[in-house]
């Protein structure tokens, strides 16, 4: 699975990519669970274009987690 994740200040086409910030992907049954979850499925820092670079191993792990879980997913930027 090829995935391109760009972290933006707001969702949608009007969002501006955010370069060089920390990000993490967590899972949960509700939005509150996702934000409160301290266990990250993946995490890192965006590049100069706001893109979250994922290794092939991380891509595979995210795809596997997505296939085996019914929880919502969110890209979370820690405070």
Per-residue pLDDT of 20-75, as tens digits, reads 999 888 888 788 888 888 888 888 899 999 998 888 898 888 888 888 776 666 66
Instruction: Name residues whose C-beta falls within 8 Å of residue 33's C-beta, 6 or more positions apart in sequence.
Output: 71
pTM of the full structure: 0.72
pLDDT band at 76 (very low <50, low <70, confident <90, very high): low
How many CA atoms does the CB half-sphere of 75 hold within 13 Å?
18
């Amino acid at each position: 699975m090829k995935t391109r994740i760009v972290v933006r200040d707001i969702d949608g086409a009007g969002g501006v990519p955010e370069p060089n910030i920390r990000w993490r992907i967590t899972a949960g049954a509700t939005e509150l669970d996702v934000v409160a979850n301290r266990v990250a499925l993946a995490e890192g820092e965006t590049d100069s274009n706001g893109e979250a670079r994922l290794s092939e191993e991380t891509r595979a792990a995210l795809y596997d987690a997505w296939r085996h879980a019914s929880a919502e997913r969110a890209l979370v930027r820690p405070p």
